[in-house]
Amino acid sequence: MGIRDEKNFILSRFLDGEEISESELNAIMEDPEALNQWESYSKIRAGLRGEIPNNVNLDGFADRVIAAIDAEPFDLSRTISRATEQDIKQSTKKETVINKSKDYENLQDNVADENKVIDIRAERAKLLNKTVNYITHIALVASVAAISVLGVNLYNGKTNPFVEESYIGGGSSLSISPVKMVNSDKVNDTQISFNNNSNINSNANNVNTNTANVANADVGVDKNYLRVVEERRAKELKTLDALLNDHLYVQRGWVVSNSQQ
Amino acid sequence: MNEGNTDLTLVKQVQLGNKQAFNMLVMKYQYKVVSIAMKYVSNESDAQDIAQETFIKAYRAIGEFRGDSSFFTWIYRIAINTAVNFVTTAQRKSIHIDVDSEDINSYDGSQKLYEMDNPENLLEGDETKKVFLKALNSLPSELKQALILRELEEMSYEDMALTMNCPIGTVRSRIFRAREILESQMSKMYMKNQKA
């Protein structure tokens, strides 16, 4: 097969959609005879497919089109979109690098590595965001838990209304030492009621688990404060804190000092 | 293997500034585009004007071609729009043409219609088709089969190899030889008609 036949063979394959090298394509585009052959093959295809209209002679038509384009110079770069331009730049850049570099495999690896770095950075950024979100969430939960525990400690251990240092409101305070709980297993639904003349029953056996009657208490406990306690307890019963604090409230409500007996 | 790959390769070359690549696209699709134009106008001259304008527009807008559709689909739309605009413009002009009744017979349009109805022109069109059919029938059977499967059935080389029960390389060479023979015969017939 001669050079001309070889070139025509490449044209025939290219017309059918087979890939050819850039150098082969350039050789065709620079050869007027090859371009004429391309036109002949295209005409054969059009004729066989019935695409040639009657009474039409298109000899020289393509030359007239190119001449008309040349007559009105137009800067193609104005119409190339950014994306297309980037694609062309990337492909041109790659081709330039390929032409310069002899080690094509290393070049491909470098390109692949660069892509990997980009992917790794993106993954790291995602992971960092997730970590920050997780830490923030943990910190919020921890702070809420800390506040709850602190609040409980402050309210129960340190601010006992029946001790001197925790007196709230008017009236004399009375120091009452904790006593042993009586019938503690029955303390479930305790109702604390305080009368103006509340009496503390010195006999622990007479303590009514359902109703806390403090007779002759002279405890000097502020009724408003106790109401606040009651309301708070009612609210806390609806929360998990109730399980922790409930027996402490009862303990406070039922505390009877041995000294009062 | 896809004919669209060829178009994409050429389009990319055009976008890089290679005008010869666009020349190849024009040569490939000139008949199709003129056929489209012929559906809107009645004479060859106007059809070629529409086709030429279509390709010029396509060249100027080639940078915007992203390959989302095939190149022919893209240029087909340009051709339709160009043809419609041409017809609309021509209709507007014809409204303003004040043709005297006595001059109707000498009106350019009627003359062109006369030319179109010339039997000689009709024969010439038929002759073109006859040339292709005659040339195709004169091919050896395996070459004729290869060309019919490729050009009419638009089969890929791989499918043709399976159909014809031969290697892909044989398919390529048969198609190439068929085209060479057809091209040679058509050139001879064209020269023969010219002399006549």
For A6-33, how does the pLDDT look when each residue is reduced to its tens digit (9 = 90+)?
A: 999 999 999 999 999 999 999 999 999 9
Averaged pLDDT of chain A? 67
Q: What are phi and psi of A199, to 5 degrees?
A: -120, 135
> Is pLDDT at B42 greater than 50 in this prediction?
yes
Beta strand segments in chain A, E: 191-192, 199-200, 211-212, 214-215
Question: How close does chain A come to B192, measured CA to CA in Å?
Answer: 17
Sequential DSSP letters for A184-202: GGG-SS-EE---TT-EE-S
Reply yes or no on whether the pLDDT at A188 is more than 50. no
Closest CA to B189 of B118, B119, B116, B138: B138
Q: What is the pLDDT of residue B95?
A: 53
State the best of B13, B31, B62 to mutate against chain A, taking most chain A CBs within 10 Å: B31
Query: Hey, what are A192's tokens?
Result: 């604390």
Is the pTM here over 0.95, yes or no? no
User: CA-CA distance, A114 to A121, in Å (whole number)?
Assistant: 11
Domain at B119-195, CATH class: mainly alpha
Question: Whole-angstrom Cα distance, residue A99 to residue A37?
Answer: 30
First-last CA distance in chain B = 43
Q: What's the rounded Cα separation, in Å, for the pair B130 and B136?
A: 10
**Does residue B13 belong to the interface with chain A, where contact is any CB pair within 8 Å?**
yes
The size of the A-B interface in CB pairs under 8 A is 180
For B118-153, the pLDDT digits (tens) are: 444 444 445 666 778 788 888 999 999 999 999 989
> What are the structural domains of chain A?
3-74 (1.10.10.880), 164-260 (no CATH)
- Between A78 and A89, where is the model more confident? A78
Closest CA to A187 of A235, A248, A247: A247
Of A29, A65, A92, the CB nearest to B52: A65
Are B161 and B167 in contact by the 8 Å Cβ rule? The answer is yes
Q: Which residue has the higher pLDDT, B105 or A251?
A: A251
The residue behind tokens 């017979």 is B105
How do A199-200 and A214-215 pair as beta strands?
antiparallel
The domain spans of chain B are: 3-96, 119-195
CB A105: neighbour CB atoms within 10 A? 8
Beta-carbon separation of B64 and A48 below 8 A = no
Does pLDDT of A88 surpass 60?
A: no
For residue range B174-185, list pLDDT tens digits in order: 999 999 999 888
Fold for domain B3-96?
A: Rna Polymerase Sigma Factor; Chain: A (1.10.1740)
DSSP string, A134-165: HHHHHHHHHHHHHHHHHHHHIIIII--TTSGG
Residues A210, A190 contacting (CB under 8 angstroms): yes
Q: Which of residues 127-146 of B touch A (CB under 8 A)?
A: 128-129, 131-132, 136
Predicted pLDDT at A217: 43
